Homo-oligomer: A and B are copies of this chain.
Amino acid sequence: MADNDCRENLITASIPLFAAKGLNGVSVREVAGAAGVNLSMISYYFGGKEGLYAAVLREQFAVLEKLDELEQMDIDTLQKFEWYVRATISRYRKSPYLLRFYTSELTNPTVCFEAIVKPAIKKVVQMLLETFTDGLSHERFREGLNPADTVLALAGMINFYFLLEPATAELVDHAPQRDEELIRHIMDIFTRGILK
């Protein structure tokens, strides 16, 4: 093996393992075997198993950076929400393990939760809250809406759909071909739900 293949191989190979079984469910021997790399390389490059896991998590959550764009976009509030829905869904398609790391850390937090996961989630929620508040000033929304409940409802419709897939695959069609229909469906409910 040449160059820095080792480091990359370890990260690539451990993503599906950590995603499926969690930090405690995977042994260093298993990871090293899947990466086709010697066990000692984990300590060599990452200082240990937790270091590798943290590197994986950092890489997975790096894709969230794109969300910053939304603030500068010159479109109306509902279009911003639709952009968020579409971006989130396409992110889950391109990075099929991301939601697993999200929910795994939310339910069984590791050392990485406070440092990596929580700030990432707060950032997204905060961004959605600002978008909503912006929309309020244009008075397009009906009165009595709680900002937090509203944006969490939108986020919940998207995320729960993907979270439930392992249990409802036989009941619900989760095919990517339906994503545009799903986006339209979610935005329909949300729009009718919050507009005057």
Q: Which chain A residues have a beta carbon within 8 Å of chain B's beta carbons?
A: 19-22, 24-25, 99-100, 103-104, 106-109, 113, 117-118, 121-122, 125-126, 129, 144-146, 148-150, 152-153, 155-161, 163-164, 166-168, 170-173, 181-182, 185-186, 188-190, 192-194
Contacts and interface: CB of A to CB of B under 8 A. Distances in A.
Nearest to A194: B189
Most buried by B among A22, A113, A144: A22
Contact of A160 (B155, B168, B170): B155
Contact of A189 (B19, B126, B181, B189): B189
A108 B117 contact: no
A171 B125 contact: yes
Contacts of A103: 103, 106-107, 163
Contact of A150 (B144, B149, B150, B185): B185
Most chain B beta-carbon contacts within 10 A, residue among A99, A118, A163: A163
Contacts of A158: 156
Q: Is the interface of A mostly helix, strand, loop or mixed?
A: helix
A168 B122 contact: yes
B153 A189 contact: yes
Nearest to A184: B144
A157 B193 CA distance: 12
30 contacts: A19-B107, A20-B108, A22-B22, A22-B107, A25-B108, A103-B103, A103-B106, A103-B107, A106-B163, A106-B164, A106-B167, A113-B166, A121-B168, A125-B164, A125-B172, A126-B171, A148-B171, A149-B181, A149-B182, A150-B185, A150-B189, A153-B157, A153-B186, A156-B159, A156-B160, A157-B157, A157-B160, A160-B160, A188-B193, A189-B190
